[in-house]
A and B are shown apart, each in its own frame.
Chain A
Amino acid sequence: MSKTVLAAECPECAADVGLDADARVSEIVECVECRSELEIESVDPPTLVRAPEVEEDWGE
């Protein structure tokens, strides 16, 4: 398990969201406070944006 080493602000509720050391751009994470689904926009500096809404043709 990767250790949480970075923190970014949730764009929805401004809570600190911990990111793992191996966090990657476009990775999907969840805010522990407001449960919003977020996308890592950048890891350096760590920034988050709201994840895109699920589209009709998404899946396997």
Chain B
Amino acid sequence: MNPVGPRLGVLASRVRVEEKAIMAALDRRGVAFEHLDPRTLSVTGGAAWAGPEFVVNREVGHYRALYAASALEAAGATVLNSAAATHVSGDKWHTSAALLAAGLPTPATTLALTSEAALKALEEIGYPAVIKPLVGSWGRLVTKVADRDSAAAVLEHVEALPSPQSHVVYLQELVGRADRDIRVIVVGGEVVGATHRRGDEWRTNVARGAASEPCPLTDEITDLAVRAAAAVGADIAGVDLIEAEEGRLTVLEVNDRVEFKGFQSAHPGLDVADRIVDLLLSRAAA
């Protein structure tokens, strides 16, 4: 496709296993690409953009990823995932709202606009419950509160955080088997595969040491994952499902710049990076 075809890019400030795999997959196909580092990237509105026309967004920082995608799109580039998808899936409340609008099962979630409102809402939700930051990952600052005293203490810390956005409180019921979940990778509207993630603690993030094992695909897993990715507008997604009551699955979250190191170790026969490159090349060829 290149050098005469569209120019391709990988946007990433931090080249981890996943970004390296995507770059290696492009190299294997003999496809040239530009590594765009958001730390040195600037895009001028209205000016001609001389950079890549099709970009995979792998920036680790949510806000840099979001604004880089928006700026590149404004310059005429196609970004995977789109800025709109990153806007929705990078924020837990926007994700919950999108899942609900699509009629998908998701844990009961309440958005409280102040700590005081959150404490009042928790009386309705009941304990234990979960307080999560709107933005962030790897299970950081996700807190299980057992009673009113611990909730009040956590909310006092929340109030002390510097960002006004941090003061908006995202509350969720604690769902069934919280010690294990299912991570499903979706690329271009198709499921690549799924893993079970089990941890020693109630948060099952691989970044917290959870182990990934292959999870057989069922119609329910495939259907929920594809619909959840579509609900947030993500072409590339890591959909987290969790078992709720009576073994029914519910959608916990959708990750738009999905990490797949753990998935890949559980599924050595599948190649997520290759699938992402397939999608990028098909979009560029369309």
Contacts and interface: CB of A to CB of B under 8 A. Distances in A.
A41 to B, nearest CB: 11
A26 B259 contact: no
Contact of A60 (B23, B35, B258): B258
Contacts of A56: 133, 135-136, 163
B136 A59 contact: yes
A27 B140 CA distance: 23
A60 B137 contact: yes
A26 B134 CA distance: 28
Given A26-B12, A27-B15, A28-B15, A58 B20 contact: no
Interface residues of A, number: 16
Contacts of A26: 12-15, 35, 37
B256 interface: yes
B180 interface: no
B106 interface: no
Nearest to B137: A59
A59 B61 CA distance: 7
Contacts of A44: none
A25 to B, nearest CB: 7
B49 interface: no
A35 interface: no
User: What's the dominant secondary structure at chain B's contact region?
Assistant: loop
B37 A59 contact: no
Interface in B225-268: 238, 255-259
Interface string A13-57: 000000000101111100000000001100000000001100111
Nearest to B64: A57
Contacts of B13: 26, 52
Contact of B256 (A27, A57, A60): A60
Most chain A beta carbons < 10 A, residue from B12, B20, B90, B137: B20
A30 B68 CA distance: 28
A27 to B, nearest CB: 4
B16 A28 contact: yes
B259 A60 contact: yes
20 contacts: A24-B15, A25-B15, A26-B12, A26-B15, A26-B35, A27-B16, A28-B14, A52-B13, A56-B135, A56-B163, A57-B62, A58-B136, A58-B137, A59-B60, A59-B62, A59-B138, A60-B138, A60-B238, A60-B257, A60-B258
Interface of A: 22, 24-28, 39-40, 51-52, 55-60
Interface of B: 12-16, 20, 23-24, 35, 37, 60-63, 90, 133, 135-138, 140, 163, 207, 238, 255-259
Given A26-B13, A56-B163, A59-B60, 16 more contacts: A24-B15, A24-B35, A26-B37, A28-B14, A52-B14, A56-B136, A57-B62, A57-B90, A58-B60, A58-B136, A58-B138, A59-B62, A59-B137, A60-B238, A60-B255, A60-B256
